[in-house]
Chains A and B, each alone.
Chain A
Amino acid sequence: MLAAQNEAIEAGDFVWRTDREDVHMNIEAALTDMIGEPAKKLHTARSRNDQVVTDLRLWCRDAIDSILFHIKKLQVVLVYLAMRNEGLIVPGYTHLQRAQPVLLQHLLLSYVEQLERDAGRFIDCENRLNFCPLGACALAGTGLPIDRFMTSDALGFTAPLRNSIDAVSDRDFVLEFLSASSIAAIHLSRLGEEWVLWASEEFGFLVPSDSVSTGSSIMPQKKNPDPMELVRGKSARVVGDLITVLVLCKGLPQAYNRDLQEDKEPLFDSVKTIMGMLEVTAEFAQNITFNHERIQRALPLGIWMQQPSPITLLRRTSHDIVGRCVAFCLSKDCQLSDLSLDELMAIDPVFEKDVYEFVGVNNSVSKFCSYGSTGSACVSEQLSYWVSKLGISTDASE
């Protein structure tokens, strides 16, 4: 009979009644309408207190599985994007000032790392919430001979919760879920910011295809990267959802309080939002091209700072020497690689003609070799790690 109800709900035929308050009473009353007396026995040794929080934990578990799927999908998309743009050097920024040249692949993989930690947080949350409240009843358990382990196993929980008061009153799993979602949302907002910047005329590093852009109702020329602006913006509502539930729970005495029904809407909203953000980011990433030509042309600007390799130089002194070289370049409006050896030696006699292997963007990138750096070999290794971990087939790369 419950199966029949399930079908009716999924077909959209079920009539939800406000006077029956909530989903639990609606379903039980409908069941009673349908089958009579036996339905009245369903709620034996059960309260809505343990019922609702069991439902919620099951829902969270499923939601987390979906989120993990979408995180992985986005990681895969970013790795493909990296593979399709091998060798492309872009400016790496600190303080939004051009800092050092980096391989685009290296930058994309930094996001993959962050997503991996996000997934870790969701997994830890899922493990921690996977304990069954059923059988705690209102708050104290019951005198009826129920088997909490049986229900717990049947519902795929690790075990029943050890304390009935804790079982019905705590929503820390909701807070943890929302925290993990908020952190992931912040990560995506940062990627959103970056790609919105890169799509601007001033940067011009990436071009979204029409399928992920929108126009203006008034300005005919406009092509806006709205999806990523919304990814950036919707992070705010996820954070808001977290705050809602934190404020909700603050100072609530044991065990169950009606306030707690307010936990659901923010939770549902956060899940819907984070999934949308993950999906759309992945879609956007599959529909952009990097403007290699524009990036190449722009690269020389910004005076790249690479530590001079002569290790006999004191680090602080070399920083100072190169700083003075930079100031000289600025006054001449040229690049470090344009300076003659005489000009360099006039700044400091330690320069030799092998210095030209260290200036210029391409040379600069090729000199990086520390573990995790942007050197080609290091990035190749990172890529292999992710291709293997994510189970990506390299023949399928476009």
Chain B
Amino acid sequence: MRALIEPATPVVSLLRQATTSRNDIPEPSPYLWQHSRRRRQRWAVEAMDSQKAAVTITSSVVPAGGKSLSKENKLWGGRFEESVTDAVERFSESISFDKALYKQDIRGSRAHATMLAAQGLITTSDRDSILNGLDVIERTIEAGDFVWRTDREDVHMNIEAALTDMIGEPAKKLHTARSRNDQVVTDLRLWCRDAIDSILFHIKKLQVVLVYLAMRNEGLIVPGYTHLQRAQPVLLQHLLLSYVEQLERDAGRFIDCKNRLNFCPLGACALAGTGLPIDRFMTSDALGFTAPLRNSIDAVSDRDFVLEFLSASSIAAIHLSRLGEEWVLWASEEFGFLVPSDSVSTGSSIMPQKKNPDPMELVRGKSARVVGDLITVLVLCKGLPQAYNRDLQEDKEPLFDSVKTIMGMLEVTAEFAQNITFNHERIQRALPAGHLDATTLADYLVKKGVPFRTSHDIVGRCVAFCLSKDCQLSDLSLDELTAIDPVFEKDVYEFVGVNNSVSKFCSYGSTGSACVSEQLSYWVSKLGISTDASE
């Protein structure tokens, strides 16, 4: 900051030299700050014109790119002798993305102005002017007519300057006992709160869609996989409900995040609070926060709520990527278990036969950008000293991107799920392959008193025998079975075959029909689903 003073010396000498050739320019006073910045700039440029050959101008006085003299003074520019260069302004601006916070910024300003008036720090008429002005600005923004200016840097300065243009002096009182440090993080917390509510709504919607899908495919048995090898037969309903469980925990993480972030930073000002008699509890209540944050330095410097939000989004995104993978596999010719309708498929520009489940591929793929957004902010925050640092403005774009992405993923997955049919016939035909009933057969032997390890071994030998004969376990005769181990009896046939297999499951949370029925009832009730509406 001190360096800004030094260029004054070349300017002074410039001006002094200039006066020898242009006597109508007054000798600048020793106190440069007494003159407006615009006048000094004009002198500098005029002097430069007349002294171009003789004087070396440092770029800090007149930047190489040139300066527009029409730039207004920055609202923070009191001690500054010159404005920032264009390149710096472009690099530093955040208005291109933080205007997304306009609603929250205006809401925060309304609450702040109301509190200032209640505390006697501004008059009620000033407050009213401010509130009316903010209403007009909000309507203008929503109509798409507001002109966002890069030289006004960010959403806060844009709105405040616009308010000043509109109502004059009262607007200059709005920022009393406030800094952009506490203002921006208040806006961000409000934005996150609203975003989480939207995400929770979409999570619930997807859960409902999956439950409906389950209800419409009652009794359908599909292969359950481990290592992508056919493992055991499961009810499709049971598989779909496993995703509903995961989404429930995702919702829980978002709710915990929302509760933890719901504390108000306003009144922390730059980092230390203020000596003015503000009422932080009033503003906090007005904005729907649980309470004001207890420590002003913490209030302005921490972005852990952003990290937590992004973490929750990343985990949810990973869950959806796994569902995406599964449905892309199931839509393939080799699996052929599900058929997306045309409304959720795309073709190929070259291969006429193609019908691709692109939406779910994109759900799978977009999980990467959510993870990337999380990493961005983790790396951003690492090693940043207290309290506020400009780096932190970089928290918004990844956050906004992650929310847009996760909402898209949730919406599209729900839409896809409402536009697929399961290929019952193809699945039935495929089911016998893979000896999915093997474990159930092992359980049969356990019930006969054979230690599990031994029964695992016996059934393994039965499967090997089937492979050599290219048949199913249910095709083996009782003699063939007893030749492998004498413990088999004729009731064994109640335990082989896929349908029998599924019906034997009975442990809590298993794929047995009764258990799955119970799970479904739990979710129908929890999600408030009307069972008459099921198609």
Contacts and interface: CB of A to CB of B under 8 A. Distances in A.
Interface of A: 32, 37-45, 49, 92-97, 99-102, 106-107, 109-114, 117-118, 120-121, 124, 128, 135-146, 148-149, 160-170, 172, 175-176, 179-180, 182-183, 186-187, 189-190, 192-194, 197, 232, 235-236, 239, 242-243, 246-247, 249-258, 306-307, 309, 311, 314-317, 319-324, 326-328, 330-331, 367-375, 378, 382, 385
Contacts of B512: 141, 143
A93 B274 contact: no
A95 B296 CA distance: 16
B386 A309 contact: no
A345 to B, nearest CB: 14
Interface in B228-275: 228, 231-234, 238-239, 241-246, 249-250, 252-253, 256, 260, 267-275
B309 to A, nearest CB: 11
Interface in B1-56: 1-2, 5, 31-33
Contacts of A323: 76-80
A323 B231 CA distance: 73
B297 interface: yes
A372 B299 contact: yes
Q: For chain B, give the interface size range.
A: 35 or more
B388 A372 contact: no
Contact of A102 (B121, B272, B293, B294): B272
Given A169-B242, A253-B225, A319-B78, A40 B273 contact: no
A307 B276 contact: yes
Contact of A194 (B386, B439, B511): B386
Contacts of A194: 385-386
Given A139-B231, A311-B276, A323-B79, A96 B226 contact: no
B469 interface: no
B226 A311 contact: no
A310 to B, nearest CB: 11
B398 to A, nearest CB: 14
Q: Report which residue of B75, B374, B522 has the largest number of chain A beta carbons within 10 angstroms of its beta carbon.
A: B374
A186 B509 CA distance: 39
A179 to B, nearest CB: 3
B280 A189 contact: no
Interface in B185-240: 224-228, 231-234, 238-239
Nearest to B275: A367
Given A370-B267, A372-B267, 18 more contacts: A49-B226, A95-B390, A138-B231, A140-B224, A140-B231, A140-B439, A143-B495, A165-B234, A175-B315, A179-B314, A186-B304, A250-B318, A252-B322, A257-B227, A257-B228, A330-B5, A368-B275, A371-B292
Given A94-B271, A372-B273, A186 B311 contact: no
B382 A114 contact: no
Contacts of B446: 44-45, 144
Contacts of B224: 138-140, 165, 254-255
Given A176-B253, A315-B176, A320-B78, A107 B274 contact: no
Contacts of A235: 382-383
B364 A251 contact: yes
B378 A163 contact: no
Given A139-B232, A163-B519, A243-B371, A37 B451 contact: yes
B510 A166 contact: no
A141 B510 contact: yes
A114 B298 contact: yes
13 contacts: A92-B297, A96-B385, A109-B298, A113-B302, A128-B252, A139-B231, A142-B510, A161-B245, A163-B245, A239-B382, A246-B371, A254-B225, A309-B275
A94 B387 CA distance: 5
A193 B389 CA distance: 13
A374 B322 contact: no
A106 B175 CA distance: 24
Given A140-B233, A163-B509, A239 B515 contact: no
Contacts of B164: 316
B504 A251 contact: no
Given A166-B245, A187-B304, A250-B321, A141 B509 contact: yes
A374 B272 CA distance: 5
B281 interface: yes
Contacts of A138: 224, 226, 231-232, 439
B326 to A, nearest CB: 4
Interface stretch (B166-174, B346-354, B406-414): B166-174
